[in-house]
Amino acid sequence: MTLGKFHAALTAGVFLAVSATAQDAGDTTAPETGAEAASAEGAAAPTISAFSITPAPDPLSSAAAVYATYQSDVSDIEQHKFENVEGIQEALTDLGSQNAEQLSRGWIAYSALVASQSPEFRAAVRDVEGYYGRDFLVRGLQTDSRYARKINGGTTAVGAALNAGAADAQRLQSTAEYVKEQAYSLQAFGWAKGKLGDSGALATRLRADSMIGRTARPNMTTALDAPDIGSVLSTAGRSGAPSVWNSVSGSADRLQVVNVSNITSSNSPLSVSVGSEQVADKIATLAVYRVLGSEDATGVAPVQSAMTEGQTSGCMNMAQLNLQQCIAATHQHFEVPFCLGEHALAEIGSCIAKVSN
């Protein structure tokens, strides 16, 4: 036998031996009974459990909650003096981590919520929908940016939203003055004159945080989804009405509904300033979507698109950059409130105020 044939025979013998051993080992396993097979089959079957579908949050309310969170942070600063370094740093983190695009979208969404409370405008939107159909109305919104403002009551509705914005801008200016005053009074305290540390690194952190943005407070989201939020929004910016942000306490069952009898309606709606027409158009468009049922009427994409606007977001982005540069140039703790008042409050307020006159 040649070496090649011997090697082939040896290999075949080993293969047969291994196969026989494996077969013998397999034979030691008892065959499954019918019951065992059924049990194994049942164990392999997937378990199907009941589930519920949570409805998607309203995009307008969700966006507005970011702006409401900013205003809630302003309320915290407005109601409490700085008493230590931690308080100053907390305020800086809250206001300095706002994302300009998200804050701008939040303000426009909030303005649309206010505009959608106009009875005349709501009735006109429903009339157009009833006569021409919802598809016709939505198509008009998507093909003509000024379509919503042409609907009866559109100018008045937008004017009410601008009044609310002007009231917010005034509130921010007043709070800014209060905060900047503390930059002077705090110099009497030793802790406030302490070294800030690496201000450049602090400014860099603020920049990084602002790229992500500040998450909306859950209580603000809850408040804006409350069934009776409309009664609060309908008084925004009106003479004799308290600030909306004093009325929104943060939970659906604790909204402070305003006594309408104490409010005068003598203040006429503000007009849109030159160059800000596109902002007013978007507010009106979003208000129509709100009346129709927001995303239920058109899908989320058109609503999200209408909230995107360059003028206000660009202005707020510049305010954030100025805040970061101001912080980078500070050396002592008492200087931080000045940066907050000047850029995180007053400058943001001016971005809102310039839309109307």
Report the C-alpha gap between 111 and 93 in whole angstroms.
26
Report the C-alpha gap between 96 and 209 in whole angstroms.
8
> For 62-82, what is the mean pLDDT?
95
- φ, ψ at 51 (rounded to 5°): -145, 165
Report the C-alpha gap between 163 and 237 in whole angstroms.
5
pLDDT (tens digit per residue) in 125-183: 999 999 999 999 999 999 999 999 999 999 999 999 999 999 999 999 999 999 999 99
pLDDT (tens digit per residue) in 21-54: 334 444 444 334 333 333 444 444 444 333 334 4
Residue type, 142: Q
- On the question of pLDDT at 343 being above 90, the answer is yes
pLDDT (tens digit per residue) in 210-225: 999 999 999 999 889 8
- On the question of pLDDT at 10 being above 50, the answer is no
Q: pTM above the 0.85 mark? A: no
Provide the H-helix boundaries in the chain.
Answer: 3-27, 34-44, 59-79, 85-96, 100-115, 119-132, 134-143, 147-150, 154-185, 199-212, 218-224, 229-233, 244-247, 277-292, 295-298, 300-306, 310-328, 336-339, 348-353
Task: Please give the pLDDT value at position 249.
Answer: 56
Report the C-alpha gap between 38 and 29 in whole angstroms.
18
Task: Please give the pLDDT value at position 226.
Answer: 86
- On the question of pLDDT at 64 being above 90, the answer is yes
